[in-house]
Structure 1
Amino acid sequence: MNAASRVLFDEPGPRGRRRIAIGTVVISVLILLVLFLGFRTLNASGELAYAKWKPFWQQWAVKFLLEGLKGTLLVTLASGLVSFPAGALLGVGRAGRNPVVKALCTAYIEIFRSVPTLLLVYVFLFALPGVGLNVSIFWKLTVPIILINSAVIAEIVRAGIRSLDRGQSEAALALGMTTAKTMRLVVLPQAVRLVIPTLVTQLVALLKDSTLGYVVSYPELMKQANNLANNTKLLLQAFVVVSAVYVVINFALTRLATYLEHRIRTRPRARPGAGAGPSAPLGDPGADALAHDLPAALAPR
């Protein structure tokens, strides 16, 4: 158990560890029993017969699902390309000192964090066309996802900013850097570096939100699976195959987040012979920014 875990709860003693081990074994046995009963029921009803799974390995079905996967990835990519920069700007604005900008960013974040994505999709599908704003089905799905997730990402970035020691910005200001330059060169790079794993995990949320494409009849993966199930009358098989695709994609994103978190938490060694003390890690964005602006800050005016 690491130090962070000890802050949340006390380390269990011998009796507590024994209870945890027994509980883990009991729960694992129950899960295996449920899986076994489910497998036996499906096998008895003929749902696991090869003939019911064979259509999904044929070329026409694979091509049909790949078109849906392409639509899902396109929505996820477009949403991410807009949500992440917009969320970063909103997070910086809410963490800043300008009262007007802070109030506007706070209002946006609090409103769109509270609104369900499905409700916003319905607004773009039914309400806005009535007032003359009718966009394509791609943007009827993508824009609500962007509006919701940019607010969530803003809070992630703001949490990263607030987690930094105030000495970082105070040192930059003492060197003569402006508030905007301090945020851009010192605070924000370090904050983003801290929350990169969480931001990567947020891609999973973007991917899941794309399943709302059925509302606007956008041909994403879930919509294609629904069409395939209706045509083949094999509902269970179609949704199991699509679920496996989602599991693989989400697992890859989760592993990427774990890898980035491990790389970030691994403190590199200091440059040999660079004259830096042991507390100056290699490639620290804040240290690099301060070192870059130090001559300019100390120059006579």
Structure 2
Amino acid sequence: MSTSVLYDVPGPKAIMRNRLIAVATVVVVLAVVAFLVYRFALSGQFSATKWGIFTYTVIWEQILTALGKTLAAFGLAAVLSLVLGFVLAIGRLSDHRWVRAPFMAITELFRAVPVLVMMMLLYYGLPSVGVKMEPYWAVVIALVVYNGSVLAEALRAGIESLPRGQKEAGYAIGLRKSGVMRLILLPQAVRAMLPVIIAQLVVTMKDTALGFIITYPELLYLAKQLSSNAQFERPLLQSAFVIGGIYIVMCLIMSWIAHIVEKRLRSGPGTAGGETTSTGTVPVQPGDPRLHLDGTLTEVLSVQHDRP
């Protein structure tokens, strides 16, 4: 029996068994979907009255306004989360214990507090000490505190996973610690942890929905208002489908952007070195614009071929 690198190639009986399992799985899924559609139709969820609320222009204007509120909170929270993540990650990697310990304590504390609890503390707790905070800032700060600490751990893990020789090579060519971190370690860590970073940003976008608890007028808050409309027989499922579909589209767009960014980063310019010509390899001198750091520290070896 021929084998692959990771597992044995299935034989005729295994192939037939896998096909039967796949067909059975598809049949079961289709049966569940058909049953749900039947129950929805039986309870009148597809009636024109329940969906009629989405035929009004004013409703879609409200949806666009709520979408803008959601994106406004997400946009600022995403940027600040990345900034906080970089700061906490670099602080945790400090060689000085008196610097590393406070950053570690802050990171662990921020990761331990749930986002909703932080929002409620900021919005309902601060007024008890004489500080009133708008729902927008309560949502943004809570998202930044939690997601920034999670991103910090992701970046720290990415930096510590790099070969030790990368850092030592940076010191060998005369870079200081800040230069090694900025030019060598961070670019590689960001590239390696890009899927994790994008996934956490998607979580940040979805966590904006928690703002409806503190009356922030985002998409979920609007869906709750629409579902309580008695004129259209309280279209709860209809509102959930429409608003949920908007969230799905936004997450798919972010995943598509992440795929493009990751593809461009992985297919960047080649490593530095000599430029090959018909006469051999032209050596690259220090300071030559062709010499670059493509996320890694590359040793340039130039070979001058003698002409015959």
Structure 2 CA distance for aligned equivalents of residues 223 and 263 of structure 1: 38
Q: Tell me the SS of whatever aligns to 1:61.
A: helix
**C-alpha deviations, 1:257-295, integer Å up to 9, x for none?**
23333333346545644757xxx997603448x99xxxx
- 1:163-174 matched pairs, under 5 angstroms: 163-174=161-172
Q: Give the CA deviation at 1:117.
A: 0.8
Match of residue 125 from structure 1: 123
Letter in 1 for 2:213: V
Report the aligned-residue RMSD.
Answer: 2.5
**C-alpha deviations, 1:29-62, integer Å up to 9, x for none?**
2111110111111112221123322321320110
1:63 paired residue among 52, 61, 64: 61
**C-alpha deviations, 1:146-202, integer Å up to 9, x for none?**
100110010111121112111111001112221122112221122112222322222
Q: Show structure 2 runs of 5+ residues with no match.
A: 277-281, 285-289, 301-308
8 Å contact from structure 1 (residues 268, 282) kept in 2: no
Structure 1 CA distance for aligned equivalents of residues 8 and 243 of structure 2: 41
Match of residue 296 from structure 1: none
Match of residue 294 from structure 2: 284
* Alpha-carbon distance change, 95 to 188 in structure 1, aligned in 2, over 3 angstroms: same
Letter in 2 for 1:14: P
Match of residue 142 from structure 1: 140
8 Å contact from structure 1 (residues 65, 224) kept in 2: yes
TM-score after normalising by structure 1: 0.84
- 1:217-236 matched pairs, under 5 angstroms: 217-231=215-229, 232=232, 233-236=234-237
8 Å contact from structure 1 (residues 200, 256) kept in 2: no
* Alpha-carbon distance change, 172 to 270 in structure 1, aligned in 2, over 3 angstroms: closer
1:99 paired residue among 97, 100, 106: 97
Q: Give the CA deviation at 1:248.
A: 0.6
Letter in 2 for 1:239: A
- 1:269-280 matched pairs, under 5 angstroms: 269-270=270-271, 272-273=275-276, 275=283
Q: Give the CA deviation at 1:23.
A: 3.1
Letter in 1 for 2:294: D
Aligned residue pairs, count:
279
Instruction: Report the structure number with the largest CA radius of gyration.
Output: 2
Q: Show structure 1 runs of 5+ residues with no match.
A: 1-5, 292-301
**C-alpha deviations, 1:226-256, integer Å up to 9, x for none?**
1111124111111110011011111111222
* Alpha-carbon distance change, 282 to 69 in structure 1, aligned in 2, over 3 angstroms: same
Match of residue 257 from structure 2: 256
Match of residue 84 from structure 1: 82
Match of residue 265 from structure 1: 266
* Alpha-carbon distance change, 117 to 281 in structure 1, aligned in 2, over 3 angstroms: farther
Q: Tell me the SS of whatever aligns to 2:228.
A: helix
Give percent identity, aligned residues only: 31
* Alpha-carbon distance change, 39 to 283 in structure 1, aligned in 2, over 3 angstroms: farther
Structure 2 CA distance for aligned equivalents of residues 17 and 94 of structure 1: 51
- 1:200-215 matched pairs, under 5 angstroms: 200-215=198-213
8 Å contact from structure 1 (residues 128, 134) kept in 2: yes
Letter in 1 for 2:263: H
Structure 2 CA distance for aligned equivalents of residues 281 and 25 of structure 1: 55
Q: Give the CA deviation at 1:126.
A: 2.3
TM-score after normalising by structure 2: 0.82
